[in-house]
Structure 1
Amino acid sequence: MTEILEASCHCGTVQFRVTLPDGLASARRCTCSYCTMRGAVAVSAALDGIEFVTGEDNLTLYQFGSRTARHFFCRTCGIYTHHQRRSNPNQFGVNLACLKGLSVWDLPDIPVNDGINHPSDGAPPRIDGILRYEKSPT
């Protein structure tokens, strides 16, 4: 179920293609302090699964805490595009909202990982809850 999708930041300066080995099945959120404030849903790609078409030089990097995860943003519009994961440094988490033609609202249920008790700190991986979108009746 590998998918290759077009993606971009909000202003279009950063444009890239992403290969998702598990498609949208890898979509998830996290409860760590940063992800809670950022609010993005991420899907998984291998480190060689992102090909920048334009704007790679316009990305800026943010790191905090253990400085293992590397979070990338468009320096023009500020949109988070992707990050190299702390839980698996061999993967990128890609902002699902950057994928053209897709929206987090396309997924009815999104697992939320326990990022406060992080696996890299010795805690077992755990789903903390489910983020659910239910469309209101019109």
Structure 2
Amino acid sequence: MLYKGGCHCGKVAFEVEGELDGVVRCNCSICARKGALLWAVPHDRLTLVAWGDDLGRYTFGAGKIAHRFCRTCGIHPFAEDVSEGPEHSAYINVRCLDGIDPSTLSIFDFDGRSA
């Protein structure tokens, strides 16, 4: 299924294709503060539709994940695994997908603070 999403102001927009069976709630220092519910997909299933100079990047710790955000409204619509190769993933914040009710999704809790 094809999903569309983006930030609050619309300057960052994307499409992602896949089966949204469940999401991850990570308790690392940034995900807990953002309240993100993440859906992991192969990176090639994520297509940026609009971003311009508005797509910011934030990394911390080991720098393995690039947390993306809109420089205008501050919303974090997705993150990216910065590794190369077939395991390269994108992590979609399902709260930024159009027409999705997060309360209907099964949630897996991930202990990112200990990872």
What TM-score do you get using the length of structure 1 for normalisation?
0.73
How far the C-alpha of 1:56 sits from its partner, in A, is 4.6
Q: Count residues in correspondence.
A: 113
Distance between the aligned counterparts of 1:13 and 1:47, measured in 2? 21
Q: Specify every segment of 5 or more residues in structure 1 that has no aligned partner in the other structure, as ranges.
A: 119-138
Q: Specify every segment of 5 or more residues in structure 2 that has no aligned partner in the other structure, as ranges.
A: none
**Structure-1 residue corresponding to 2:11:** 13
Aligned to 1:105, what secondary structure does the other structure show? helix
**Structure-2 residue corresponding to 1:34:** 30
Report 1:1-138 matches (<5 A).
Answer: 3-20=1-18, 23-85=19-81, 90-107=88-105, 109-118=106-115
Alignment root-mean-square deviation, CA: 2.1
* Segments of 4+ moved more than 4 angstroms: none
Q: Which moved more, 1:77-86 or 1:66-75?
A: 77-86
Larger gyration radius, structure 1 or structure 2: 1
Higher normalized contact order (CA 8 Å, seq sep 6+, divided by chain length): 2
What TM-score do you get using the length of structure 2 for normalisation?
0.86
